[in-house]
Amino acid sequence: MSNISPVIITGLVHNTAPPVNTYPMQTRSKFGIVQHKIHPSLLLPSVKQALKDANWLAAMQQEYDALMQQIHGI
């Protein structure tokens, strides 16, 4: 007996099983990797505004330091 439960919609039977790959291509969505949407209210309107925001500046410094660590091993 299959563990797939049918769903009846207007007299038609549809299986609720997830789609099966018919080709070997792997995509981000098949691995559950999604890009979260950023609400526009969280975006700063300009670089000048961003540089005045201490939280943004600290986050960017942390990102820059991590990048330099990867590139130069600093």
Give pLDDT tens digits for 22-72: 777 888 877 788 877 877 777 778 888 888 889 989 999 999 999 999 998
Judged against a pLDDT cut of 80, whether residue 4 lies above it is answered with: no
Instruction: Break the chain into its structural domains and give their ranges.
Output: 42-74
pLDDT of 31 reads: 78
Predicted model pTM: 0.41
pLDDT of 19 reads: 65
Distance (Å) of CA 17 to CA 3, 14, 20, 21, 33: 9, 9, 9, 12, 20
pLDDT of 14 reads: 55
Other C-beta atoms within 10 Å of 74: how many?
Answer: 7
